[in-house]
Each structure stands twice: as structure tokens, then as C-alpha cells.
């Protein structure tokens, strides 16, 4: 099939767009309102923007509590959602009324961050602590309203990693078993069995593609 994405006339049972952008990391965003109420919500339109300096972003349909809190206080956290925390992550996505703290209803523990006020999820093996940079309004935003799509970008100023997942100087991502979002109501999980290493090819002096070097990665992106 090949269809007009503007008209979105795919003719399928459900829109396939998100099922084709997979797997997507989950940004489990923690924030605090001006009144000091914690908020926790997962966003599947989430990713890194750059690595030096460290910036991350998430996109929200309409201005929800997370976006409002971050814009008002200037800080947020992003905890890793994993296989072990999948139930709590799912509960925290419920559309509860504004001003409701999702931590207790999700049976999760809010633990203090080191560099920002909003807490991280204690049960998560890793978390980013972020300072708000800016919000980008996409063209579908209704002027003067909270309706539309909003991209929130923040600089990572602190990173928490559970030391038990650090081995030989690197993070054992597979052992953390992070969740990823697929399409529809589907998810995937990263495990040691589903991970693979592909060393990047290099160029020879003659301009040919050389064989990839065997052995452990040396940490250099070429």
C-alpha cells in the first residue's frame, strides 16, 4: 500500500503511523507543580536530541500537567521504564484529574533527585535530571489554547545509574530490561538475548570499505 499521509486515508482498522516508528524509548517524566504536588507520566514520543551537551525531548498532545509543571518550575526528571516497572508505568499513564500524585496510585516510590527538585522513580535503574530549555509548538497548535502538540526540550544536568548495572566500565543495558513502545497497545523489552553489537566499518587508505574490527568497541564514533 502507498497512501496520502496528509489525508490519512490508509483504509486500515487503526492508523499505522506509530506502529512504523518502533521501537520508541519511553520518557517517564517526573515533575512538580507550583503547589508542590508530584506528577508522573510516560511519553512514547521521547528521545535524545544531542549527547554533548546532553539534551532530551518529549512531545505531548495538548498541554498536560507534565508540560505545565515543567514550564512553570523549569525542571523535570526522566526515569527508565523497565520490564519490572511495567505495571506502575501503565498505571501512571491513566488520565487522572489535575493535581493527583501518580506515584502512590502506581505503587511507586518518589525518591529525591540530586540536581533538581522533581523526584525520580526509585524502582527505576536509571534516571535523567533535567533543566527546562524551551517548548516548541507544532503548527497544529490552536492559537491561545492548550490544544495541539508541544515539544518540550531539556538539558540533562544529572544522571542516576544503579551501580549494580555497571560492569567492566559500561552500563549493562540488557540487564536493565528497558521497555520500548511499539504501535497500538504493544510494547517490546530489551534483554541480553535480543541485543547485538555491530562495529562500524572503516575506510582504507585507498577509499575502500574495510572489514569491521573484531573485539570490544573502543568508545570512538568514526
Per DSSP, the residues of 97-115 read PTT--HHHHTT--EE--SS
pLDDT at res. 200? 75
| pLDDT at residue 157, rounded to an integer | 98
Query: What pLDDT does 219 receive?
Result: 66
- Per-residue pLDDT at 184: 95
CB 118 within 8 A of CB 79: no
Query: CA-CA distance, 118 to 110, in Å (whole number)?
Result: 9
For residues 120 and 79, the answer to whether their CB atoms sit within 8 Å is yes
pLDDT at residue 213, rounded to an integer: 62
pLDDT of residue 212: 63
Contact 10, 16 (CB under 8 A): yes
pLDDT of 140 reads 86
Four-point Cα dihedral 103, 79, 41, 85, nearest 10: -60
Domains, the chain, ordered by start: 17-189 (2.30.110.10)
Give the pLDDT of residue 218: 65
pLDDT for 217: 64
Supply the pLDDT for residue 214: 61
Specify the DSSP element, H or E, that contains 71.
Answer: helix 65-73
pLDDT in tens, the chain (222 residues): 999 998 899 999 999 999 999 999 999 999 999 999 999 999 999 999 999 999 999 999 999 999 999 999 999 999 999 999 999 999 999 999 988 999 999 999 999 999 999 999 999 999 999 999 999 999 988 888 888 999 999 999 999 999 999 999 999 999 999 999 999 999 999 999 999 888 777 777 776 677 666 666 666 665
Q: What is the pLDDT, as a whole number, of residue 199?
A: 78
Return the number of other C-beta atoms located less than 10 Å from residue 174's C-beta: 15
* pLDDT of res. 221: 60
Residue-wise DSSP of 109-175: -EE--SSSSS-EETTSSEEEEEEEEEEEE-TTPPTTSS-SEEEEEEEEEEEEE-GGGEETTEE-HHH
Question: Could you give the CA distance from residue 98 to residue 75 in angstroms, rounded to a whole number?
Answer: 18
Amino acid at each position: 500500500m502507498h497512501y496520502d499521509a496528509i489525508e490519512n486515508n490508509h483504509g486500515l482498522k487503526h492508523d499505522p503511523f506509530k506502529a512504523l516508528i518502533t521501537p520508541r524509548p519511553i520518557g517517564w517524566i517526573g515533575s512538580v507543580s507550583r503547589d508542590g504536588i508530584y506528577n508522573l507520566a510516560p511519553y512514547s514520543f521521547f528521545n535524545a536530541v544531542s549527547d554533548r551537551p546532553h539534551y532530551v525531548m518529549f512531545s505531548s498532545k495538548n498541554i498536560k500537567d507534565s508540560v505545565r509543571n515543567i514550564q512553570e518550575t523549569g525542571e523535570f526528571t526522566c526515569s527508565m521504564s523497565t520490564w519490572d516497572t511495567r505495571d506502575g508505568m501503565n498505571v501512571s499513564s491513566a488520565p487522572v484529574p489535575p493535581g493527583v500524585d501518580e506515584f502512590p496510585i502506581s505503587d511507586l516510590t518518589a525518591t529525591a533527585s540530586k540536581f533538581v527538585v522533581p523526584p525520580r522513580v526509585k524502582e527505576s535503574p536509571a534516571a535523567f535530571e533535567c533543566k527546562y530549555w524551551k517548548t516548541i509548538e507544532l503548527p497544529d497548535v490552536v492559537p491561545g489554547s492548550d490544544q495541539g502538540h508541544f515539544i518540550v526540550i531539556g538539558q540533562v544536568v544529572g544522571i542516576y545509574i544503579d551501580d549494580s548495572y555497571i560492569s567492566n566500565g559500561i552500563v549493562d543495558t540488557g540487564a536493565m530490561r528497558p521497555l520500548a513502545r511499539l504501535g497500538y497497545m504493544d510494547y517490546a523489552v530489551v534483554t541480553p538475548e535480543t541485543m547485538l553489537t555491530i562495529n562500524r566499518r572503516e575506510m582504507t587508505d585507498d577509499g575502500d570499505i574495510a572489514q569491521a574490527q573484531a573485539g570490544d568497541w573502543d568508545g570512538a564514533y568514526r
